[in-house]
Chains A and B, each alone.
Chain A
Amino acid sequence: MHTLVDRGPPGPLSSVYIHIPFCRDRCTYCAFATIADDTALHQRVVRALISELQRHEFSGTWKTIYLGGGTPGLLSAAHLDHLLDGIRASASPRTPEELTLEANPANITREALTSWAAMGVTRLSLGVQTFDDRALRSLARLHSAETARRALELIAEFWPGTWSADLLLGWEGQSQAQLASDLTELARFEPPHISAYPLELEQGSLLFSRLQNTFKITSKHTETHISDTLFRKHLEPAGLVRYEVSNFANSGHESRHNQAYWANSEYLGLGPGACSSRAGLRWGNLRDTQAWLAAVESGRSARARAERISPPQRLLESLAIGLRTAEGLSRAELERRFGAAWLPVLECAAEAPLDELGLQLTETRLIAPGEHRLRIDAILSHIARNWPDHEVEPA
């Protein structure tokens, strides 16, 4: 028997996610904590986000700040400025290495870009999803393909920082040809970064209840992903590297914020439904915006549920997210965090030599090389079936 420990994250807390719950409309597949946009609430939400942060008594450096949603682009420049000032006030130095703002193509104007840049946003993440107008309409996206093209042109021309485009894969009826054409078209705008996730059927989304009612839920709704062939043909020529299964970047344009997640580091999440991971705990906030507001404004905790992650659980997570990255995990870091037992525990759960499963152990790293990385969930499912329950008893 081997004893796993969790000696804590690779570094101090330095990433914060801020959830802006407003959306103009609800996309059919989305189950994030959002509400219909209500400008009367903007100010209250901004204030509450700042006081929620103050409750956490953070002092340190924010290396990455991520303004997500919902639609942060719906906040006025003044509110955004106020919010960012409040966040940065807690930290020193006050400028993060990366400050991302998620935006909808419908909110991109030359003025917006200029003001975001002026308030310190270094990275834009644009929800393009697809250039197929019929799909955009059926997914209830707010924008058309044309709007997305215009937004991309504006960004190419006026955005000083780096940026990323989100693509959605595997919406109903999407053919391989349509996927290829989305990639070709997007590549023309030379995005420094692309995130391409397959559509997940989420409980609580309109799509889910619709399909549930018609008994049409099938695996095909989540089958699609970007094959190696598609990647080589459409993205590699643009200099994009597949640095994670679903993420592609030009060298130096990787998402630092996401990389912190993937290293199973600590992060703080502010706002309705946001998740945090800190001091051995992981928790989620109240998802309902009014409930979250009420809690924060009355000085109560906005946590809805928290769990303590045991060392075996933490190791399973680290593998599940770390093995999706091209560089995999560092053996030294695994050993530091989990103790020497991490490898015997993994080998024991694997029930077969690691390389037979598609994992590779080099001098310094544990990786899922090449094609194996594209079936990493199957590999992990296999391992998870034999994973030790909680604390492994000492011999």
Chain B
Amino acid sequence: MKQEHIRNFSIIAHIDHGKSTLADRFLQVTNTVGERDARAQLLDNMDLERERGITIKAKAASMDYVRDGVTYRLNLIDTPGHVDFNYEVERAMQACEGALLLVDASQGVEAQTVHNTVLAEQADLHLIPVINKIDLASARPDEVVEEIENALAIEGERAVLASAKTGIGVEEILNRIVDEIPAPRGDKDAPLRALIYDAEFNDYRGVIMHVRIVDGELSAGDRVRLMADGTRHEALEIGVFRPHLTPVKRLGTGEVGYLIANIKTLNEVRVGDTICLEKDREVKPLPGYRPARAMVYCGIFPVQNGDFDDLRTALTRLQLNDSAFSFMPESSDALGFGFRCGFLGLLHMEIVQERLERESGVDVVQTAPNVTYELLDNEGATKLIRSPSELPDPTHIAELREPIVKLNVVAPDEFVGAIMKLTIERRGRFLKQEYIGPGRVLVGFRVPLAEIIFDFFDKLKSATRGYATMDYELEGYAADALVKMRILVNGEEVDALSSIAHKDHCEPRGRAILKVLRKEIRRHLFKVALQAAVGGKIVAREDIAPVRKDVTSKCYGGDISRKRKLLEKQKAGKKRMKMVGNVEIPQKAFLAVLGTREKT
């Protein structure tokens, strides 16, 4: 394939604006996928993606598109729309020269549309705006054109009116891609430089690296070197995504494809690394990626202590396919040995945990998530705090800082009052308000991340009848009156339940946490006292009364086995519990801190 006939582009948009559906149409129109294999959102091939109806991983597909007798190779990358997966979008962009920016014709420009546009411009991509879903009765293309001009500073007349559902405008988009998106710029005569922009692990084939050939070319059988660690391998198989893996003999400059090199050790491959030929000595590595910055952390512990190593393997494997996810060993008095894991947001956390359970089968206990804090100690040194249990005694703390984000909310203007009220309650500061189109505003705030990352979006949705969308970006760290709240069970501190909170929020928050714990912990034969403490002061208390009477179960009739089996079940149940002293705490309780925010 001639370099000048290659076009690399990603499809970007706010969540649900139709990216994956548009990718379906492309695959269909270019005959990449036959009738028989076609299904909706074909590229969303993970179980979790299909169940949730959202894209989680960016995914590539190569298509051949013939125009005026010339065959063009179009490499598309479908990206996820949720704010938690911005990192996937950024990485995909680095493998492309252009992007289709989709805007839903009835929803209009939303918070994530604004953010994605900024990212695409930073990555120097040629943008083609597409107003999608114009088949909808509620479509309002004229207003959306205006929003694109106001909020994104893109000329409205450049927008293609399309429907990924009915196929309107799809040919036009393909033509615009061919005409407008520049061919890849790399030097075909220079030594090979290929960017590993993603990777996955396959039980049979080992690591499958997703690569973009930046300079030179790669042929099957070449001896290659991964530059970060200097490891050498043979390119056993190279190929393109059609969208399933399809071997080819050669990947030329500018092409996107995969490389299998019989690599079975997971940590040998780093996403962002550069591949060169083994014989080339003087190659300069590509800039790679900035590391993803974890926004929230939580502890993940094996239920059975013996599963620690299995859990480590499972996490390593997940990390390969999700380089935004990070982990490090951690130990807890209550939960034993496990890992502190970093995520880009709560959806990301939920997805990783679910993938972990499905793909590895290790039973895990997860602690409530928290943001990272920055600690300034009395000696003037700063330290990153990833878990409340890392906090030293208050006397050693000069200052405790929390992450602050710039929050953008897009909504109809009638809701500005409600949005203000909600955000100010969460310690937010108003920054700006801009009209992006008739009756639609973008409101900007500066707000602590901890206040918006858990349940804020749900609250925002209900305050705006579902209309508002939001997006945020980390700005820095700032000090506030933050304290550690400990949870005691029968006087014993349970480190995995402590949290960091603003001092004015501790009491209601403590009460709410204890209420949830009270529901989760069964009655014991003795009284169980639950306390929330800040420093030496108890700010909330709940007691779980001992069992006084009980159900005298399975006792009529002569089937004594039945009764015994019922008791034996208790034993199986206990295996899934964590003991604190002689109190059994079910796994769910460790997430209690999370579920309680809304009541504060």
Contacts and interface: CB of A to CB of B under 8 A. Distances in A.
B582 A245 contact: no
A134 interface: no
A261 B551 CA distance: 20
Closest 9 CB pairs of A and B: A384-B567, A378-B547, A385-B574, A377-B550, A197-B556, A384-B570, A378-B550, A275-B559, A381-B570
Contacts of A309: 561
A376 interface: yes
Given A267-B558, A378-B523, A313 B564 contact: yes
A88 interface: no
Contacts of A307: 561
A274 B559 CA distance: 8
Contacts of A37: none
Contact of B564 (A275, A320, A324): A320
A225 B549 CA distance: 9
A288 interface: no
27 contacts: A195-B556, A198-B551, A200-B553, A245-B552, A245-B555, A269-B558, A275-B558, A275-B559, A275-B560, A275-B561, A277-B560, A316-B567, A351-B582, A356-B526, A371-B548, A374-B548, A374-B549, A377-B550, A378-B525, A381-B567, A382-B524, A382-B525, A385-B570, A386-B571, A387-B567, A387-B568, A387-B571
A316 B564 contact: yes
Contacts of A351: 582
Contacts of A378: 523, 525, 547, 550
Given A197-B555, A378-B525, A387-B568, 11 more contacts: A32-B557, A198-B553, A219-B551, A275-B558, A284-B561, A316-B564, A317-B561, A317-B563, A321-B560, A384-B571, A386-B574
A227 interface: yes
Contacts of A324: 552, 555
A321 B563 contact: yes
Contacts of B561: 275, 282, 284, 307, 309, 317
Interface residues of A, number: 49
B554 interface: yes
Interface in A273-288: 274-275, 277, 282, 284
Given A374-B550, A375-B549, A376-B552, A17 B568 contact: no
Please indicate which of the listed interface residues A219, A371, A377, A386 has the most CB atoms of chain B within 10 Å of its own CB: A377
A100 to B, nearest CB: 12
Contact of A227 (B524, B547, B549): B549
A327 interface: no
Interface string A236-274: 000000000110000000000000010010010100001
A380 B524 CA distance: 12
B551 A246 contact: no
A171 to B, nearest CB: 14
A278 to B, nearest CB: 12
A210 to B, nearest CB: 20
A223 interface: yes
Interface of A: 17, 32, 195, 197-198, 200, 219, 222-223, 225, 227, 245-246, 261, 264, 267, 269, 274-275, 277, 282, 284, 307, 309, 313, 316-317, 320-321, 324, 351-352, 356-358, 371, 374-382, 384-387
A222 B557 CA distance: 16
B284 to A, nearest CB: 63
Interface in B507-560: 523-526, 547-560
A277 B582 CA distance: 36
Contacts of A384: 567-568, 570-571
Contacts of A245: 552, 555
Contacts of B552: 197-198, 225, 245-246, 324, 374, 376-377
Please indicate which of the listed interface residues A269, A313, A356, A382 has the most CB atoms of chain B within 10 Å of its own CB: A382
Given A282-B561, A313-B564, A375 B548 contact: yes
Contacts of A197: 552, 555-556
A261 B582 CA distance: 33
Contacts of B550: 374-378
Contacts of B560: 261, 264, 275, 277, 282, 317, 320-321
Contacts of B525: 356-358, 375, 378-379, 382
Contacts of A277: 560
B552 to A, nearest CB: 5
Nearest to B558: A275
Contacts of A356: 525-526
Interface in B180-226: none
A222 B570 contact: no
A244 to B, nearest CB: 9
Contacts of B573: 385
Contacts of A380: 567
A225 B285 CA distance: 76
Please indicate which of the listed interface residues A277, A324, A374, A378 has the most CB atoms of chain B within 10 Å of its own CB: A378
B181 to A, nearest CB: 54
A240 B555 CA distance: 20
A243 B499 CA distance: 52
Nearest to A15: B558
A246 B568 contact: no
B546 to A, nearest CB: 9
Contacts of B568: 313, 316, 384, 387
